[in-house]
Amino acid sequence: MAILEVRNIGKQFDNTKVLDNVSFSLEEGNALAIIGSSGSGKTTLLRCLNFLETPDKGSITVKGETLFDASMPRREQEKELRTKRLHFGMVFQSFNLFPQYTALENVMLSEKLLAKEQPDFKQKKKEIYERIEEHGVELLQQMGLAERMSHYPHQLSGGQQQRVAIARALALQPDILCFDEPTSALDPELTGEVLKVIRSLADRKTTMIIVTHEMAFARDVSDQLIFMDEGVIVEQGDPRQVIDHPQEERTKQFLTRYAQG
Amino acid sequence: MFWNVTQVLLDGLLTTFQIFLFTLLFSLPFGLVLAFGSMSRWRPLRYLIQVLVWIIRGTPLMLQLIIIFYGPGLWLGHNIWSGNESGRITATVVAFSINYACYFSVIFRGGIEGVPAGQREAGEVLGMTRSQIFFRITLLQMVKRVVPPLSNEVITLVKDTSLARMIAAYELTFAGYSFMKSNGLTWPLFYTGVFYLIFVGVLTLLFNYMERKLDYFR
């Protein structure tokens, strides 16, 4: 069974349809790439999955649990919403690291705050914090940032900041990790280091959704690819198939424009 | 004579300092509450606070002080502020706290709104509660933004305390002026100025220190 089922998601801002009837599913351990021009609704789709936007229509199911269904009345408490959010991790285009915390503190913050809600927190505070710190250090090492843990975000390059952001998103072990154009705010020479990290996550079978403009990367790394235009999924399937042999006219046009730069 | 003047001025300074300290103590948190209210999703509250801020910023502090001190006595028939010095100081602190809270609320709102939305969103996707997001993420970034405009207001407050003379609270300026009235001496007035300069000088150093302390992040 798929880990994620998205059905008929629709979203409107004022009178503009940003998402229309978007449906797809994702298998555990797979990477899904979403491509398309700006304004095609890719980012809004990710934001809906992370509950930063509320869809007007459709449903979202993770591991068989319906997290969102527009047809059901919603009056949820903050606590429920937070629990639902934790199924997803999010890496933003502009990193959004917390500037007042070091790289390591950025990674540990959410875990520490969640630990406080455990009933035995008071008795085991020291052990819990030690474990969290170990975990944070380990994550940053994985990102190749062992030397940068006590640096503040402004002391790091864009690529390093984005890798810290990835570690931060991984800290809570989300079921599905979302990337919103993770390299679009980076200088070209820095995109490589971030893509390398995402590739290694794919190799370790991390379930991911990657919104990206890096076509070659999407083609190599993902197991499944979606092309979106004007809020609808125009074409989806095997990445090599879609990119090398697009079936739809709009996909062909997009890829041609893209190839011309 | 010099020591006599010094002693009287120090007495006045104590009152000035009390007004200053208690006004800050009340107006800073109250200002933050007003700032939240002015950003509330509930429209009536937002409008109410906008009107309050308009009235308070739109009228002289001296007028507000007079109304708060004399108003209750005239309307209720008895003075709620005891007639002694401490009653006058209390009335001053109340009037000043309301006034400064309004100015602070505007500064705080600017500081909060200046923190990029991405910071809040990053907190949300990490499963933080609204209060965690405010206290762990927004607050310090806001403080860093508001220190310079806040320092302006706080320094203005030091000098505004001299308005308390209006309701006969014996503060620093009143003390310096008393020598001119009774002895025809003008030099205590300049001496009074030195007291203010030192007070503000210390505050300036304090604010510079805070700015430097918060310089570790950007």
**CB proximity B212 to A under 8 Å:** no
Quote the minimal CA–CA distance from A47 to chain B in Å.
10
Give A33's strand partners.
A210, A225
Q: State the complex-level ipTM.
A: 0.91
Contact residues on chain A for B115, CB-CB shorter than 8 A: none
State the Cα–Cα distance between residues A258 and A209, nearest whole angstrom.
21
Q: Is residue A195 within 8 Å of residue A217, measured between CB atoms?
A: yes
State the Cα–Cα distance between residues A217 and A198, nearest whole angstrom.
10
pLDDT at site A81: 87
pLDDT at site B81: 82
Nearest CB neighbour to B127, from listed A98, A154, A172: A172
Q: Is residue A21 within 8 Å of residue A232, measured between CB atoms?
A: yes
Contact residues on chain B for A50, CB-CB shorter than 8 A: 124-125
Interface touch B217/A99, C-beta < 8 Å: yes
Q: What is the mean pLDDT of residues B189-204?
A: 95
Interface touch A88/B125, C-beta < 8 Å: yes
SS3 A12: strand
pLDDT digits (tens, 9 = 90+) for B43-67: 999 999 999 999 999 999 999 999 9
User: Burial code of A227-247, b = ≥16 C-beta within 10 A, e = fewer?
Assistant: bbbbbbbbbbeebeebbeebe
In chain A, the residue whose alpha carbon lies closest to the alpha carbon of B139 is A100
Which whole-number Å values give the CA distances from A88 to A50, A81, B103, B111, B126, in the listed order?
6, 12, 41, 30, 9
Rg of chain B, C-alpha, whole Å: 20
State the Cα–Cα distance between residues A214 and A211, nearest whole angstrom.
9
- Going by their DSSP bridges, the two strands A208-211 and A224-229 should be labelled as unpaired
State the Cα–Cα distance between residues B26 and B47, nearest whole angstrom.
23
Give the CB-side neighbour count of residue A232, counting CA atoms within 13 A. Answer: 7
Provide the 8-state DSSP code for B134.
Answer: I
pLDDT digits (tens, 9 = 90+) for B130-157: 999 999 999 999 999 999 999 999 999 9
pTM (2 d.p.): 0.88
Interface touch B217/A78, C-beta < 8 Å: no
Q: Is residue A71 within 8 Å of residue A125, measured between CB atoms?
A: no
Report helix, strand and coil shares of chain B as percent, to nearest 5.
85, 0, 15
Q: Is residue A258 within 8 Å of residue A246, measured between CB atoms?
A: no
pLDDT digits (tens, 9 = 90+) for B2-21: 888 899 899 999 999 999 99
Output the six-digit token pair for A44. 């809004």
Contact residues on chain B for A82, CB-CB shorter than 8 A: 127-129
pLDDT for B83 beyond 80: no
Mean pLDDT of chain B: 93
Contact residues on chain B for A154, CB-CB shorter than 8 A: 217-218
Q: What is the mean pLDDT of residues B112-141?
A: 94
Nearest CB neighbour to B136, from listed A85, A86, A109: A109
Output the six-digit token pair for B206. 């304090």
Sign of CA dihedral A62, A66, A68, A69: positive
User: What is the phi-psi region of residue B152: left when phi exceeds 0, alpha when psi lies from -120 to 50, beta otherwise?
Assistant: alpha
Stretches where chain A sits below pLDDT 50 are none
Sign of CA dihedral A146, A151, A152, A157: negative
pLDDT at site B76: 84
Task: Count CB atoms within 10 A of the CB of residue B60.
Answer: 10
pLDDT for B122 beyond 70: yes
State the Cα–Cα distance between residues A50 and A44, nearest whole angstrom.
10
pLDDT digits (tens, 9 = 90+) for B86-112: 889 999 999 999 999 999 999 999 999
Q: Is residue B213 within 8 Å of residue B143, measured between CB atoms?
A: no
Give the CB-side neighbour count of residue A39, counting CA atoms within 13 A. Answer: 2
State the Cα–Cα distance between residues B86 and B157, nearest whole angstrom.
19
State the Cα–Cα distance between residues B137 and B118, nearest whole angstrom.
11
In chain A, the residue whose alpha carbon lies closest to the alpha carbon of B120 is A96
